[in-house]
Amino acid sequence: MKREVNLIQHAVSMGYILDREKSSKTWAVMEKEGDKILIKNSPNQNDHWMYKSLIDEQEKGTIVDFMQKRGFSYQSICRSSSRHLDDRVVKDQKSLSVELGDVFSQRHIAQEAFNNRVVEHQKGNYLACRGIDAVTYGCYIGVKVGNQAVFALYRDIDSNGKGTICSTISYQSDAKVSMSDDGFFNSTKYFQKGLPLGLSVLVESGLPVKHIVVSESPIDALSYKQIHKPSEGTMYVATCGSLSEGVKKELANVFSNAMENGWSVTLAFDSDKAGRCMDKEVRELADTCRVRCKLSIPF
């Protein structure tokens, strides 16, 4: 029954309403008389439909948990079926945007993935394979390392380098940790589907920000730190390869903070064609914020 019943359809049959402004094609934000839930529009890896309460952070689980929390007996739950349910909500959701609109839900999904995705590596970890020492990244809360490296992405970053988590970016080595023909480490990266992009931010808690280094990826940022050993109070910001309008807005906010607080800004993009293009676009954005950037230092 956990597999057979479409939980979104079932919630509608119980009087829950799909919030179109906050939902997306992938995630359904549903409300009923003060109760608010989040449901992914597909079963999980165990083929179970899952939900999460947006009112009680401790409440989450399968359709069985959902029904029992709302006073239904297990016997009545077992008789549930999707065959008689109205499928209009399923069709309606297909017309929604790709990105989830509810900030609270974004934060929950991103934080859960950040906390739970990493598995301990038996023979070291992903960043060690990339030649990055633990002392380089151990002081940051925005990174978790095991068989892969997962970095939190943020929006609304303040002058202390703190922001609201909105997604994650993960890096994982190929099945056989190998080198490409041109000597680069083979790996893949991926974002969380259906969540907005943000900036990776690596900053030491409790230290005032004095300098900013902007790079394409958080891996590049850690490499830069390990090689150049910048001064204390450096905040590392990475675009993660995207300069969408949303990312540029967040970057402009960082530059505005730099202008107001007198921070120095260094652009540290690669010297290849893609890196030069990103350097140019980010430098132009900094100019509009009246921020003078130091010359990029290829590494």
**Looking at residue 85, what is its pLDDT?**
63
Paired residues of 237 in beta bridges? 201, 214
Tell whether 112 and 199 lie within a shared domain. Answer: yes
Residue 116 lies in a domain: yes
Tell whether 33 and 63 lie within a shared domain. Answer: yes
**Looking at residue 178, what is its pLDDT?**
44
Which pLDDT band holds residue 45 (cuts at 50, 70, 90)? Answer: confident
What are the pLDDT digits (tens) for 198-210?
999 999 988 999 9
**Looking at residue 150, what is its pLDDT?**
92
Tell whether 285 and 236 lie within a shared domain. Answer: yes
Which pLDDT band holds residue 183 (cuts at 50, 70, 90)? Answer: very low
Burial 244-280 (b: 16+ CB within 10 A, else e): eebbbebbebbbebbeeeebbbbbbbbeeeebeebbe
Residue ending a domain, among 48, 73, 98, is 98
Which residue range forms the structural domain that includes residue 135?
104-294
State the average pLDDT over residues 159-174: 89
Tell whether 43 and 135 lie within a shared domain. Answer: no
Tell whether 116 and 195 lie within a shared domain. Answer: yes
Task: Specify the pTM.
Answer: 0.70
State the average pLDDT over residues 143-170: 92
Q: For residue 115, what are its two tokens?
A: 């906390």
- Which contacts (CB < 8 Å, 24+ apart) does range 295-298 have? 295/267, 296/266, 296/267, 296/268, 296/269, 296/271, 297/224, 297/228, 297/266, 297/268, 298/269, 298/270, 298/271
Tell whether 88 and 121 lie within a shared domain. Answer: no
Edge to edge, the sheet with strand 17-18 lists 17-18, 27-32, 35-40, 50-53, 60-62
Q: For residue 185, what are its two tokens?
A: 């480490």
In the predicted model, is pLDDT for residue 299 greater than 50? no
Total tally of structural domains belonging to the chain: 2
Residue 2 lies in a domain: no
Q: For residue 50, what are its two tokens?
A: 């899952």
Tell whether 194 and 92 lie within a shared domain. Answer: no
Which pLDDT band holds residue 21 (cuts at 50, 70, 90)? Answer: confident
Q: Tell me what the pLDDT averaged over the chain comes to.
A: 83
Residue ending a domain, among 71, 98, 125, is 98
Residue 79 lies in a domain: yes
Tell whether 209 and 145 lie within a shared domain. Answer: yes
Tell whether 239 and 135 lie within a shared domain. Answer: yes
What is the distance of C-alpha 216 from the center of its chain? 16
Which pLDDT band holds residue 182 (cuts at 50, 70, 90)? Answer: very low
Tell whether 37 and 145 lie within a shared domain. Answer: no
Residue ending a domain, among 54, 70, 98, is 98
Q: How many CB atoms are located within 10 Å of the residue 75 CB?
A: 7
In the predicted model, is pLDDT for residue 221 greater than 80? yes
What are the pLDDT digits (tens) for 255-284?
999 999 999 999 999 888 888 999 999 999
What are the pLDDT digits (tens) for 85-122?
667 777 777 777 777 777 777 877 777 777 765 555 44
Percent of all residues in the chain with a pLDDT value above 90, rounded to a whole number: 40
Tell whether 141 and 224 lie within a shared domain. Answer: yes
CA distance 177 to 12: 47
**Looking at residue 116, what is its pLDDT?**
67
**Looking at residue 84, what is its pLDDT?**
54
